[in-house]
Amino acid sequence: MSASERNARFRERHPNNSAVYSRRWREKNPEKVRAANLARTLEEKRRAFAIIGSRCVRCGCDDVRPLETNHVDGGGSAEARERIARGVGGPTWHAVLRGERTTDGLNTLCRLCNALEYVERRFPDLKGAWRIEWLVRPSVVG
């Protein structure tokens, strides 16, 4: 009997307990829950960054894990607050994936280059003070 068949039988026998059973299973298996959540997030990021741009426009990073969206003209925080106010928080790449937003005004940066971009925008006299350089090219995930 497959897991889905077992789950269906359990729900038939315990129509009011499936949510309780599910919660208990998640509490007993936090590593499995964490691994499944990470795998789902990475798959969603792969699909989102295939639309937005699959590599950092500054350093060329194409490992999806550290990729982020950058608001080219700023305003990312205000946009995030507006989404939260509408009750649909989450990262900008997720809004693109859900079709709630176009890619207008966005590009792709890795987390390091996005931090550097912020510092250079906030403190223009520091522009050019740092450089992101790959010492070891990580194997690309997915």
Beta carbon of residue 19, minimum distance to Zn ion (angstroms, whole number): 42
CB of 89 closer than 8 Å to CB of 37? no
Residue 116 makes contact with Zn ion by CB under 5 A: no
Structure tokens at 119: 């510092």
Q: 59, 72, 80, 115: which one contacts Zn ion (CB under 5 A)?
A: 59
Beta carbon of residue 131, minimum distance to Zn ion (angstroms, whole number): 11
Q: Which of 131, 112, 123 shows the shortest CA–CA distance to 70?
A: 112
State the maximum Cα–Cα separation within the chain, in Å, rounded to a whole number: 68
Q: 95, 96, 97, 110: which one contacts Zn ion (CB under 5 A)?
A: 110
Dist CA 116 CA 119 (whole Å) = 5
Shorter beta-carbon distance to Zn ion: residue 59 or 119: 59
| Residue 14-53 contact track with Zn ion, rule CB under 5 A, x = bound | ----------------------------------------
Shorter beta-carbon distance to Zn ion: residue 67 or 97: 67
Residue 113 makes contact with Zn ion by CB under 5 A: yes
Rg (CA), the chain: 20
CB of 42 closer than 8 Å to CB of 142? yes
The residue whose two tokens read 């106010």 is 85
Q: 56, 64, 95, 96: which one contacts Zn ion (CB under 5 A)?
A: 56
Beta carbon of residue 67, minimum distance to Zn ion (angstroms, whole number): 8
The residue whose two tokens read 């050019």 is 128
Binding site for Zn ion (CB under 5 A): 56, 58-59, 61, 110, 113
